[in-house]
Amino acid sequence: MSFSGFIEEIPGLSVDSFREENFEKSSTFFLTHCHTDHTTGLINGFLNHIYANSNLILYCSSESATILKNMNPEHTNLLDNIIWTLPFNQNCFIPINGMSVGVTAIRANHCVGSCMFLFRTNESTVLYTGDFRFHWFELMDIKALHNNGWPIQLDNVYLDTTYLKQITYNFPTRKKAIHLLLNAIDDFLEFTAGQRIVHISRPANIGSEIIIQSLARKFNCQIHVDDECYNFYRGVEPVFSCMTNNPNNTFIHMCKPGKPGTNHFCNSPAALKIRLSAQWYAIQENTNWVQWEGARAVNIAHSMHSSRKELKAFLRYFKPGCAVALVIPDGYYQDEIQVELDYIACKAYNN
């Protein structure tokens, strides 16, 4: 995250940022999802300020609330006191700095519990996407961003620009990537005799839910993850029932080798090693979405963030008055990413 967390149109509000300056200027906080680059400082920040300002509030989805408590069991009482959960696709009115602000949480297609926030005041309508992933044909299905079937007018969009750069112009849809994954495993099983072992690299503790559920459904088995990941998902159904922390219960592993709850199966030379990655393909500038390295290793393009092509489609569809870059990709400066975003947004608006 590069964004400061402040929504210019609504003073007193911070999103996904828990630095000292945010606690000095804000009393109302929003969390889009539980990846650590969005939660840095959250617990310590609230601990440091809660006694001086008992009115501090954190809004997030119920799934994110559960995961936050699982990640920080020693601070459950604190989180119970500060968290207010928001239902998806329901407009709620929240008092912020003397204003009544309409807030709608919208699923962001990024990880479990992840949401975009639509903020409405008498003066403006603002969308904060957080990390999100939508293909162009999915945009018309976001009901909270439509009125009588037409896109609502957005005055400003705070946009996930993780893959705005040109080398990440396009990725397969998440559905397509999972289809490629399942086919790769089928091919391996068909031509492999003896012990069946599959290990899929998991880039983060949270975010592989759709993959885990698809694997469990296809191969009629639970998916093995390490103890830490397993505990993070307690109470988060239906994904939790698709997981196991016992490596002997299944042939498909998505654990991080070396962590508690893993064993020799996860590092077996007989295993099919699968890497799901967007960044690897961006660095390689490879447009082949499935790339085998011998008979037991395969790379598959998979992104949890919108590609440049999808970002252009999003801006062309909703035509916001302006857009603010949330993320500055490695090797780029904030000014040049914002200039590029301004150019794309202006071009989209005029088309």
Residue with the larger pLDDT of the pair 351 and 82: 82
In this structure, are residues 273 and 297 in contact, taking their beta carbons and an 8 Å threshold?
Answer: yes
What domains can be seen in the chain, in order of their start residue? 13-168+306-350 (3.60.15.10), 174-301 (3.40.50.12650)
| Total-model pTM | 0.94
pLDDT tens for each residue of 142-183: 999 999 999 999 999 999 999 998 777 889 999 999 999 999
What pLDDT, on a 0 to 100 scale, did the predictor assign at position 182? 97
Q: For residue 23, is pLDDT > 60? A: yes
Which of the pair, 343 or 314, is modelled with greater confidence?
Answer: 314
- DSSP string for residues in 100-132: EEEEEEEE-SSSTT-EEEEEE-SS-EEEE--S-
Greatest mean pLDDT among 88-102, 270-284, 328-342: 88-102
pLDDT above 60 (res 106): yes
The closest alpha carbon to 79, from 118, 39, 19, belongs to 39
Average model confidence (pLDDT) across the chain: 91
User: Please, which pLDDT band fits residue 118 given cuts at 50, 70 and 90?
Assistant: very high
Q: Residue 53: pLDDT above 70?
A: no
Give the range among 189-193, 257-261, 299-303, 342-346 with minimum mean pLDDT: 257-261
Cis previous bond, 238, omega within 30: yes
Do 288 and 182 touch, CB atoms closer than 8 A? no
Residue-wise pLDDT tens digits, 267-307? 788 889 999 988 877 766 667 899 999 889 999 999 999 99
Residue 190 or 94, more confident: 94
Residue that has been written with the tokens 């990390």 in this structure:
131
**The token pair that represents 326 in the structure block:** 């949330």
Spatial distance between the Cα atoms of 1 and 38, rounded to a whole number of angstroms: 7
